[in-house]
Structure 1
Amino acid sequence: MKNEIEVKNGGQPGQTYKGPSTIKEKLSNVGPGLAVAATGVGTADMITAIVLGTSFGMTFVWAIIVGSVLKYFLNEGVGRWYLATGKTILEGWRSLGRWATGYFSTYSIIWGFVYGAAAASTCGMAMEAMFPIMPIWGWAIVHSVIGFLLVFTGRYLLFEKIMTALIAIMFITIIGTALLFLPSLGEFAGGFVPKVPEGSFMMALGLIGGVGGTITMASYGYWLKEKNWQGSRWISTMRTDSKVAYTVTAIFTMASLIIGAKFLFGTGITISGDQGLVTLAQMLGDEFGAPLRWLFLIAFWSAAFSSLLGVWNGVPYLFADFIRILKARKNKAYEAKAVEETDPAYRFYLAWLSFPPLLLLFFGKPVQLIIIYGALGALFMPFLAISLVVLLNSKKVAAEYRNKWVANSVLIGCVIMFVFLAITHLMETF
């Protein structure tokens, strides 16, 4: 088995493979981080950046950079935990106590049910704006089923190729749109100086906290495993993978800010919700012609569908791992069992994301369920940040791979920011 892994990773039988060493080799292996970033950068980030650009111009360039740096350290922490210990993030949470996996199990069931409907309907909204041959709910069902079928095949490399293609589409279309509105060098440079105009503090924190961050960050270790990245020799490559991912994230979000700042700033027009992106696409079409309307709608759709597909593939790993850990209490054989896309628990949760939530498209979203979903969701990112601070400073990780002062400082900063956002969200909810 050892030799088999060495050969897959580029080594020869009987030799210890040290992992990619040159920047070219590392870049050629980039993939899992892009899947995380594409999943995390959804329409919500587009809307937040466009709204901030519309209201405050190029003021919040600095917030996008800060948000991308923070998410890099979170993502890198998840990857480093897996590669340095060989344990999944669920096993790490389990070591913190049963409360941690108990929280996750409750969160994942409720979150999956509500998110499944939201993600599918967002895809449907984008597609209906381009091809109004079916209502939004019809397109939502189509996207949910396609996502299910693509992931059900259990072929990670196919998933990664599709996600890479969606990222390319997102990048080309949103950058192509933003190129029409490039700010001057002075305007852009001014945005690097941290400023928080009156009335913008919570929006700025929302942008920092939202740039490329979702529950799928916790799926990163499973995607590394699917790529056969195993052991500390892959940590350097994993860091390159994460840096590329969050550089792309920053550029994409920056392009959205530019569109808001240069096209809508000072007009008094407000954009909100996914429907606001459809409205903005129409405005771009009226001003610059139908091709630009299509370009922006394609960017909207690719952001929505990449988020759906990433969640459909990534979060079932977490649920299946949770079931594996429960079984391991009674049968030690499950402790060494790897989670795979063909596991019954994986496919159960994939189906849970894909089909039951579609009922919400017809019957509306129950108020109490939405309140619980919002409360649990607000707590997930601080939960992830706190757990990484604890785990990556513990003796479970070899001394050379534990957090250094920079990582600790950034992660503690993440904890403070996410706890503040969570408290604010919970106060507004209740």
Structure 2
Amino acid sequence: MSALLRKIMNFGPAFFAIGYTIGTGSVTSMIVAGSTYGMQLLWVLFLSCLFSGALIYAYGNFAIVTGQTALYSFKKHLRFGKPIALMIIVGVTFGQWNSLIGILGISSNIIFEMISLYVPSAAEHKYEIVLAIAVVIIGTMYSILLIGKYSLFEKILVMFVSCMGISFVLSLLVVHPMPAEVAAGFIPKIPEIAGGKMMVAAFVGTTMAAATFLSRPLFIQGKGWTMKNRAQQRKDAIVAAVLVFVISGSVMAVAHGALYHEGKRITHVLDMVNALEPIAGKAALTVFFFGTLAAGLSSVFPCMLIAPLLIEDYRSGQLDTNSKQFRIITGFAALLALAIPIFGFNPVKGQILTQVFNVFVLPLVIVGILFIINNRKLMKDYAAGKTLNIILGFALLFAIAISVNGVIALAGQF
């Protein structure tokens, strides 16, 4: 067991990437997609994970070769780098803080639904219990952040991500789609159903999360990796992309197998309880909800960290988790996260809309890394090769197309 744990801990930055990528927003999007469109959007998930893996590798390799971080390098080495970096900070922070609001709302509702499953009388005091749960979760997370140690953050994320992955794969063994339906999902097609364009944008927004790539150099810095770890960094990026695809695909497949052919649609967290319990049983439902909760909690840390990380990245390229600025900004994020529990919004709808906003800074993030990994003064003999440039070129075209699709989808909401 100790040998296994050591191997898992070698992939520390990968778990931060998974934490940023798979939260309750991702789980919600996969559940809604699986129940509404079946496996039709599996091709979007596959392309997003492929491009994400390439971007995680590119940002990580740049950090190891140059010793520099992303936004600091944009500011220093790109023409118009300062406004580009500032736009990225604003856009990513907005998206991640909105995600944090949805994550806490859904996570606290999930815990409440699990309590109600075994104690039905709790339903009479839903608002008070959900709010109390949310306060305890965010208060605990903020207290851990104040300790300010990368190694502690990493260990907690490893625990949450491991629980999440195991729970969803076990759920897939109980409820799963037909192999032919899975194969058909790899054929590119946007569902001609209301909300199809919005869901495609949400998929990309949650899977190709700009925050995942931008934070990669800082977490590699926290891990202490150097040129000796280049091969390990590549394996770490591959592991992150593969696990995101497997875990996210499992959630979509469970929702498809349980709900799609029944014609059931998910609009509230409670819908998942009513839909899955008769099919999977109370124990299996608890396992699935435990995985969803782990997904939410694994994203709270990264979402609270993102604003101070990006600001420090822009200013100095150094990660300082003990500064007064770090504590103030993460404290503000913690208070902001309580919006859904306090005001009682529907967390599912809010979370999907939030994921759509995440796609709009993605093209800038891809353009920035393309320029700096091809800068031979910086990268010397380790400048990007033809294969990586081609993949990132397609990733840019994909991100632009999805951003346009997101604009169209949002316009249709008003």
Shift of 1:244: 0.9
TM-score, reference length from structure 1: 0.80
Residue 105 (structure 2) aligned to one of 107, 121, 145: 121
Cα distance change of structure 1 residues 270 and 394 upon mapping to structure 2, 3 Å threshold: same
Residue 344 of structure 1 aligns to which amino acid in structure 2?
K
Cα distance between partner residues in 2 of 1:391 and 1:179? 44
Residue 233 in structure 1 maps to residue 233 in structure 2: no
For residue 160 of structure 2, what is the aligned residue in structure 1?
166
Cα distance change of structure 1 residues 280 and 392 upon mapping to structure 2, 3 Å threshold: same
Cα distance change of structure 1 residues 360 and 124 upon mapping to structure 2, 3 Å threshold: closer
Residue 130 (structure 2) aligned to one of 125, 130, 136: 136
Identity %: 20
Cα distance between partner residues in 2 of 1:197 and 1:116? 28
For residue 83 of structure 2, what is the aligned residue in structure 1?
99
Structure with a larger share of its residues in helix: 2
For residue 216 of structure 2, what is the aligned residue in structure 1?
220
Cα distance change of structure 1 residues 161 and 40 upon mapping to structure 2, 3 Å threshold: same
Residue 36 of structure 1 aligns to which amino acid in structure 2?
A
Of the structure 1 ranges 186-195 and 81-90, higher mean CA displacement relative to structure 2 is found in: 186-195
For residue 296 of structure 1, what is the aligned residue in structure 2?
288
Residue 39 of structure 2 aligns to which amino acid in structure 1?
M
Residue 426 (structure 1) aligned to one of 385, 398, 407: 407
Cα distance change of structure 1 residues 36 and 257 upon mapping to structure 2, 3 Å threshold: same
For residue 382 of structure 1, what is the aligned residue in structure 2?
363
Residue 181 in structure 1 maps to residue 165 in structure 2: no
Checking the alignment, whether the CA contact within 8 Å between 2:177 and 2:254 is kept in structure 1 is no
Cα distance between partner residues in 1 of 2:59 and 2:206? 18
Shift of 1:343: 2.2
RMSD over equivalenced CA pairs, Å? 3.0
1:188-203 map, 5 Å: 188-196=182-190, 198-199=192-193, 200=196, 203=199
Cα distance between partner residues in 2 of 1:399 and 1:100? 24
Residue 414 (structure 1) aligned to one of 395, 405, 410: 395
Between structure 1 and structure 2, the one with the greater Rg is 1
Cα distance between partner residues in 1 of 2:252 and 2:355? 26
Residue 321 (structure 2) aligned to one of 341, 359, 369: 341
How many residues are aligned here? 386
Cα distance change of structure 1 residues 26 and 404 upon mapping to structure 2, 3 Å threshold: farther
Checking the alignment, whether the CA contact within 8 Å between 1:281 and 1:296 is kept in structure 2 is no
Partner SS, residue 173 of structure 1: helix
Shift of 1:229: 0.5
Partner SS, residue 398 of structure 1: helix
Shift of 1:99: 0.5
Residue 381 of structure 1 aligns to which amino acid in structure 2?
L
Shift of 1:69: 0.8
Q: Deviations over 1:129-155 (max 9, x none)?
A: 123564322222222111111121112
Shift of 1:314: 4.6
For residue 47 of structure 2, what is the aligned residue in structure 1?
66
> Structure 2 stretches of 5 or more lacking a match?
117-121, 123-127, 346-350
For residue 14 of structure 1, what is the aligned residue in structure 2?
none
Residue 106 of structure 1 aligns to which amino acid in structure 2?
V
Q: Deviations over 1:21-62 (max 9, x none)?
A: xxx998762111122112211223223333333344334443
Checking the alignment, whether the CA contact within 8 Å between 2:204 and 2:402 is kept in structure 1 is no
Cα distance between partner residues in 2 of 1:352 and 1:92? 27
